[in-house]
Chain A
Amino acid sequence: MVASGMSMLAKMNPFYFRKKPGVLLFSGIALICVLTQMASVSEAAPVEAKFLHKLSDFTHAPGFMWVTLSADEERGEIFVIDQKSDEVVIYNSYGMEVFRFGREQGLPQIQDAAILENGDILLAPVSGGGQGILRCNYRGEVQGKIELADLPAAHADFRIERIFYRHGSIYLAEPSRLRLVVIDEDGRFRKGIDLTEAVIACSPELTVGKVNEMEAGGINIDSDGNILFTISELFAVFIVSPEGEAKSFGRKGSVPGRFAIVRGVAVDHQGYIYVADILRSVVLIFGPDLKFVSEFGGRGIAPGSLIGPKELVVSGDRLYVSQLRERGVDAFRIVRK
């Protein structure tokens, strides 16, 4: 393709490049840059998302806005943590509400939930680390509390903002201060992770002070224990492996494949990475090689369009997207070609 393009130019004036080889070099570089970018959006995507439905009950789709999402992949259920109503609302894989619990059951305000393999539910109250984590049965009835009793002094002021459960480990995240703490199911401290170090490893031009002013707009843990988080100011997604190796990707821009304001991030079981861009109103899909694959959404109210996508969660072949403007939570099917 590049060669044919150069040939076409040469036919227009066959003596031009012979006279000015420097121009030939520059024009070649320029053409490669342009064609590379064009190719990045024109190739057939190996994976795409098809709109399925909104999460709803028998009468309507709630206009969720301030929600956090969590998945129980074992049972195919989606948990919506709605701070506006102080409720945890559970949907089955068909998008139908099957249960809800929260303030009326005497629970404190909840900001996130994680589901254990046996179906028990871990709840993170809004008040942060002081109260620890509530462990509930599948009905939301409190069975006990996991206290964070042995946190090292360096994490004494840790505040729980998000909670994830992966293979026997409970990941407590404080994305506003780029920190994580990993504990076991009894609350025993396993390790603390400073995501600031990962950011600086990927962006050595930044100072600790500068990074300390930043926060993660979205954070998630994949099934292999990799930590993924976004920082909108850096227009980037960061990935930290369980061994602590860090890498990042993403570029600022308004065209497909570029980031404006990135928020939620999620990974499917094939390693495809989904990134919500709240300003461009799209969800971008990147391959396991971190190369841009495709994006979907686009601002609007038609099925499949999105308004301010914010939180993402993957469950099986489904991707769930929360939105602004009380547009609720949309379910998409991840389709591979």
Chain B
Amino acid sequence: MKKVMFVLLALGVASLGLSSAALAFHDGGVAECEGCHTMHNSQNGSIVAPSGTIGNGPSKYLTVGSDPSSTCLSCHEGTGSYHILSTAGDSLSNGGDFFWLKTDYTWSAHGSNYNSMGYTHGHNVIADDFTLGQDPKLSTGPSDGTRAFNSSELGCNSCHDPHGKIGGGTANTGATARENDYAIAASGSRNAETQQNAAGAGGNYVILGDSGYDGGQNATWGATFTARAPIAEANRTGADLTSHADYLSGMSEWCANCHSGFAQSTANVLNDTAHTHPAGAGADMGTVAAFYNKYVATGDFNGAIATSYDILVPFERTSGTAADLDMASTDGPVAGDQVMCLSCHRAHASGFSDIGRWDFNETLLAESPIFTATGGGETLGTNAYYNKVDSTGGVYGPEQRSLCNKCHLQD
């Protein structure tokens, strides 16, 4: 009888608990299991995913969407705030807008026809509900071959750990004191007090997979992340000079969890036998930091460190500490800060090939084909440049050349 009473009491308490207000779907990390998963391919008596008709069989990983990414994008589709898949390329998030994966544009020049295909614009996450498919060209992510990730398995959960574990989570028996705080403490996990720091972890930056993460239970990859999630800070309001991601360390090493060989530590590219631009630990900016700070625009080298930060060319403030991260900082780098993968590329997608933050193939940014191409246009172009460049020049002026020059001063 006591058991009966206990069950009734528990049900009652649980029922009351369900009525309480909650402030975010993730609740800081993992959401309620049933929010994303269906246990028996059913919902209220109906089959959720008939085999062979939706996604990869009956709802792979038992997600309520056709696949993990479709499940994520059900909420994250939209414009602004935490949305990363818009219908007009106007979700100006730090990671970029997956809209660009669906945007091909074509143009003619010098008597020839050219194109910029959507699949070259970003990480081709597979989300059937949003008609986002596998990369048609690359079977694995670019790397030196030692840790190539299969593009057939790429999804949001390849990079982000939807369950919000740190250091492999509870299952990691070798967890350190920091790792024992395995659950993300608060929604968003982006505030300074919840970032990884010496005092203890509150959560990984944008719930990126931490060391030990398996890239979303990738069946064919067979590897796990070796690098820790990076230390950085951002909020959800997008990317402009008053509210931008501010990076401390570990970003490039983390990218190299899949893109092995791309985080070259040597600061001198001439000594790099891999012929790869330096990025990550050891790739100190050195004298380049002074160039960055001087550079305002093509022909204008009168900048100062206090105002030289450019959201289109971010860097890691490696010489500082987590406490120094400031999403509104306009400060440029010092010699000990580092170039990273995201200095030139976005993480999700961009309006340009190679996920470039700017058009790598154009001499003058204002002449980027996206402004005039069929399938492009002025609005799309300014969105792609986060409102910093338009077809008449934008904030840099009409003569602005490639932003490689922000560090290299070759213009």
In this assembly, does A61 line the interface, its C-beta being within 8 Å of a C-beta of chain B? Answer: no
Of B1, B53, B88, B237, which is within 8 A of A16 by CB?
Answer: B1
Contact B47 A300 (CB under 8 A): yes
Main secondary structure of the interface of A (DSSP, over half): loop
Contact assessment for A279 and B15 in the assembled complex, using a CB-CB cutoff below 8 Å: no
Known: A126-B88, A260-B25, A260-B35. A213 touches B78 (CB 8 A): no
B270 on the interface (CB 8 Å rule)? no
Contact A299 B379 (CB under 8 A): no
Within the complex, the shortest CB–CB distance from A93 to chain B, in Å, comes to 27
CB–CB A301/B53 < 8 A: yes
Interface 1/0 per residue, A60-75 and B, CB below 8 Å: 0000011000000000
CB of A334 closer than 8 Å to a CB of B: no
Choose the segment among A43-51, A147-155, A227-235 that binds chain B (4+ C-beta atoms closer than 8 Å): A227-235
* Interface membership of B19, Cβ < 8 A: yes
B186 to chain A, nearest CB (A): 12
Q: At the interface, yes or no: A208 with Cβ under 8 Å from chain B?
A: no
Q: Is A117 an interface residue (CB 8 A)?
A: no
* Contact for B75 among A109, A232, A281, CB less than 8 A: A232
Instruction: Indicate whether A316 reaches chain B with its CB closer than 8 angstroms.
Output: no
Q: Considering the complex, which residues of chain B in the window 351-394 have a beta carbon less than 8 Å from any beta carbon of chain A?
A: 379
Which listed residue (A12, A213, A234, A251) contacts B81, Cβ 8 A? Answer: A213
Shortest CB-to-CB span from B127 to chain A, Å, is 9
Closest chain B CB from A156 CB (angstroms): 17
Whether a CB of chain B sits under 8 angstroms from the CB of A59 is: no
- Footprint of A on B, CB under 8 Å? 1, 4-5, 8-13, 15-16, 18-19, 21-25, 32, 34-36, 43-50, 53-54, 64-66, 70-71, 74-75, 78-81, 83, 87-88, 128-131, 235-237, 379
Q: What is the number of residues of chain A that contact chain B, defined by CB distance less than 8 Å?
A: 60
- Which of B12, B53, B70 sits near A33, CB closer than 8 Å? B12
Q: Mark A287-302, 1 if CB is under 8 A from B, else 0.
A: 0000000010011110
Interface centre among B1, B9, B12, B50 (most CB of A within 10 A): B12
Indicate which residue in B21, B24, B79, B129 contacts A176 across the interface (CB closer than 8 Å).
Answer: B79
Contact between A215 and B11, CB atoms less than 8 A apart? no
Question: Are A325 and B129 interface neighbours, CB within 8 A?
Answer: yes
Quick one: which of A203, A232, A282 contacts B21, CB cutoff 8 A? A203
Closest CB pairs A-B (n = 6)? A30-B12, A33-B15, A298-B46, A254-B34, A176-B80, A33-B12
Would you give the shortest CB distance from B169 to chain A, in whole angstroms?
Answer: 23
Stretch at the interface among A21-29, A136-144, A163-171: A21-29
Q: Are B379 and A126 in contact (CB under 8 A)?
A: yes
Q: Are B81 and A215 in contact (CB under 8 A)?
A: yes
Residues 273-289 of A, flagged 1 when their CB comes within 8 A of B and 0 if not, give: 00000111110000000
* Contact call B129/A23, Cβ cutoff below 8 A: no
1/0 per residue, CB under 8 A from B, across A243-256: the answer is 00000000111101
Which of A109, A278, A282 sits near B74, CB closer than 8 Å?
A: A278
A-B contact pairs, 16 of them (CB 8 A): A30-B9, A30-B10, A30-B13, A66-B87, A126-B379, A203-B21, A205-B21, A217-B78, A254-B35, A279-B35, A279-B75, A280-B43, A298-B48, A301-B50, A324-B70, A325-B66
Q: Point out the residues of chain A lying under 8 angstroms from B34, CB to CB.
A: 254
Query: Quick check: is A185 within 8 A (CB to CB) of the other chain?
Result: no
Given A233-B25, A234-B23, A300-B46: A324 in contact with B129 (beta carbons within 8 A): yes
CB-based contact A301/B130 at 8 Å: no
Which residues from B are CB-within-8-Å of A205? 21
Min CB gap A20→B, angstroms: 9
Flag whether A305 is at the interface (Cβ < 8 A): yes
Q: Which of B11, B35, B50, B74 lies in contact with A300, CB distance below 8 A? A: B50
Residue in contact with B11 in the complex, picked from A33, A203, A235, CB distance below 8 Å: A33
Chain A contacts of B12 at CB under 8 A?
26-27, 29-34
Is A279 a contact partner of B79 (Cβ separation < 8 A)?
no
| Given A30-B10, A280-B43, 15 extra CB contacts under 8 A | A16-B1, A27-B5, A32-B12, A33-B16, A176-B78, A233-B25, A254-B32, A256-B44, A260-B35, A278-B75, A282-B44, A295-B44, A300-B48, A324-B129, A325-B129
Partner of B54, one of A214, A215, A258, A301: A301
Residues of B within 8 A of A127 (CB): 379
B36, B64, B379: the one contacting A281 at CB < 8 Å is B64
| CB closest residue in chain A, given B49 | A299
User: Residues of A contacting B1 with CB < 8 Å?
Assistant: 12-13, 16
B67 shortest CB reach to chain A, Å: 11
The reply to whether B43 and A298 form a contact with Cβ atoms under 8 Å apart is: yes
With A and B bound together, what is the CA distance between A53 and B402 in angstroms?
53
Residues of B close to A126: CB separation below 8 A: 88, 379
- Provide the residues of chain B in CB contact with A300, threshold 8 Å: 46-50, 54
Choose among B24, B81, B87 the residue with the greatest number of A CB atoms under 10 Å from its CB. Answer: B87
Is A308 on the interface with B (CB-CB < 8 A)? yes
**Which residues of the partner chain B approach A33 to less than 8 Å between Cβ atoms?**
11-12, 15-16
